[in-house]
Amino acid sequence: MALSRLPGHSLLTRYVQLGTLRAFTLVAVTLDCLFSLLEFVDQLASVGEGHYHVRDAFIYVVLTAPGRLLKVIPISMLLGALLALGALARNAELTAMLSLGVAERRVIGAVLLLTLPVAALLFALSEYVIPPAQQLAHARREAALSAPENPQADDRVWVHAGREYLHVERFAALGEPVGIDIYAFAADGSLDRLVHAERARPQPDGTWTLLGVRVRRVADGRFTTDSLASSDWRPFVSPRQLRLLALPVDSIPPSVLYAQVFSGGDRQDVTRYDREFWAKADLPLSVVAMVMMAAPFVFGRVRTQSTGVRLAYGVGFGIVFSLVQQIIDHLGLLLRVSPAVTATGPSFGVIALALYLLRDVYWPGLAHSPVPHSTAG
């Protein structure tokens, strides 16, 4: 009787998943703490400037820790899967499962199912946790480092939609945009008008009341200037989106990146927002790729008998994967390749490589020399 029909099959699946989840959590927290410690040492160099103290550096590191966790999740999943599956193999538990009729691909599938909650965690961190934490961290740091006569942080940001470009120099304490420039271009690419405002007050209906306005128009190659005490303008981006776009690009939530990337207009240029959006979209796929790549070291032709060797291979592969991602990203920018291709290409390549190495598991009839199922380490 196949084990898939036995009540204990789901228990074995959950056992594999819980072991992998524990190992993944341990590795992720350890790596995050390690990189946070390095960041804290780096922040100590700024202690003493302005009102920036050791306590401020510690709070900054704590607030930015979720952002570092996001970056280490793929390699954490790779190492967690290697640790969990390696422990099962070392204790002969995998051999017992296989002898009871559990297919190797079913064990791999159980680990792959963990990518669903991990993907949900990635989205929640990117959308709801990292942006406000990063915003508070940078605001506190800039306020502590700034001189008393110039307490405002430099939050300047550029955004555009269609033929309109918006530049905001910084944000006041209540989030009001300060130092606003609006550039409007004609269909032929020439400058149509330039609007400068000292500040803006967002209204409940979504419009902005611009204060201290100067409007420069271009007609027949000549500028004409009008000065207004106030003027209403309907922006193509909300104040919240602007504040988030002022953050480091890797801290901007996916929803804001999506709105900026797919806002319409001329999309011939590849901006940092395009690259970051597709990098975030690739994160769940890279987690799947890391789980797939862990399996050959336990089941496939490149399997090893030592947990230490498995981890060494995993760390090395994770470093190479990260370097390849960066190289392809920069090459894509130089060669004007779509960010969707350069971001997801390495992950699809790893998945294809893992499937090739696992061909004995998934397509045993096609293998030239099948490998015995023994996995004891």
User: Are 291 and 319 found together in one domain?
Assistant: yes
Q: Which residue has the tokens 């804001």?
A: 256
Residue 15 domain flag: yes
Distance in angstroms (rounded) separating the CA atoms of residues 89 and 144:
53
Q: Note down the domain range covering 206.
A: 157-245
User: Are 10 and 116 found together in one domain?
Assistant: yes
Question: For the residues of 68-122, what is the DSSP string, one character each?
Answer: HHHHHHHHHHHHHHHHHHHHHHHTTHHHHHHHTT--HHHHHHHHHTTHHHHHHHH
Distance in angstroms (rounded) separating the CA atoms of residues 247 and 132:
10
Distance in angstroms (rounded) separating the CA atoms of residues 110 and 13:
6
User: Are 167 and 111 found together in one domain?
Assistant: no
Distance in angstroms (rounded) separating the CA atoms of residues 363 and 148:
69
Residue 225 domain flag: yes
User: Are 9 and 102 found together in one domain?
Assistant: yes
Residue 257 domain flag: no
User: Are 20 and 134 found together in one domain?
Assistant: yes
Q: How many CB atoms lie within 10 A of CB 92?
A: 14
Please report, as a single letter, which amino acid is at residue 81.
A
Question: For the residues of 272-310, what is the DSSP string, one character each?
Answer: HHHHHHHHHHHHHHHHHHHHHHHGGGTTSTT--S-HHHH
Strand order of the β-sheet with 208-219 is: 157-161, 164-171, 177-185, 191-202, 208-219, 222-233
Domain boundary among 206, 229, 245: 245
Distance in angstroms (rounded) separating the CA atoms of residues 298 and 23:
16
Residue 6: what pLDDT? 41
Distance in angstroms (rounded) separating the CA atoms of residues 258 and 274:
8
Residue 150 domain flag: no
Burial readout 199-220 (b: 16 or more C-beta within 10 A, e: otherwise):
bbebeeeeebebbebebeeeee
CA distances for 223 relative to 26, 166, 186, 194, 231, angstroms:
63, 20, 15, 10, 20
Residue-level pLDDT, tens digit, the chain, 377 residues: 343 444 445 788 889 999 999 999 999 999 999 999 999 999 999 999 888 999 999 999 999 999 999 999 999 999 999 999 888 888 888 878 878 777 788 888 899 999 999 999 999 999 999 999 998 998 899 888 875 444 445 567 888 777 888 999 888 766 788 999 999 988 888 888 899 999 999 888 888 999 999 999 887 777 788 888 999 998 888 877 877 877 888 888 999 888 888 865 544 455 788 899 999 999 999 999 999 999 888 876 556 567 778 888 888 999 999 999 999 999 998 898 999 999 999 999 999 999 988 886 656 654 444 444 444 43
User: Are 35 and 137 found together in one domain?
Assistant: yes
The count of domains in the chain is 2
User: Are 53 and 161 found together in one domain?
Assistant: no
Residue 372 domain flag: no
Residue 265 domain flag: no
Please report, as a single letter, which amino acid is at residue 175.
G
pTM for the whole thing? 0.78
Residue 282 domain flag: yes
User: Are 84 and 225 found together in one domain?
Assistant: no
User: Are 41 and 169 found together in one domain?
Assistant: no
User: Are 107 and 79 found together in one domain?
Assistant: yes
User: Are 53 and 177 found together in one domain?
Assistant: no
Q: At what angle are helices 307-335 and 339-357 packed, to 10 degrees?
A: 150
3-state secondary structure 196-248: EEEEEEECCCCCEEEEEEEEEEEECCEEEEEEEEEEEECCCCCHHHHHHHCCC
Length of the chain: 377
Closest CA to 277 of 305, 258, 264: 258
User: Are 174 and 128 found together in one domain?
Assistant: no
Closest CA to 359 of 306, 309, 295, 286: 295
Distance in angstroms (rounded) separating the CA atoms of residues 78 and 24:
8
Domain boundary among 245, 261, 286: 245
Residue 241 domain flag: yes
- Joined together, the tokens standing for residue 45 give 């160099």
Distance in angstroms (rounded) separating the CA atoms of residues 281 and 85:
27
Helix (H) or strand (E) holding 161: strand 157-161
Closest CA to 237 of 127, 171, 161, 134: 161
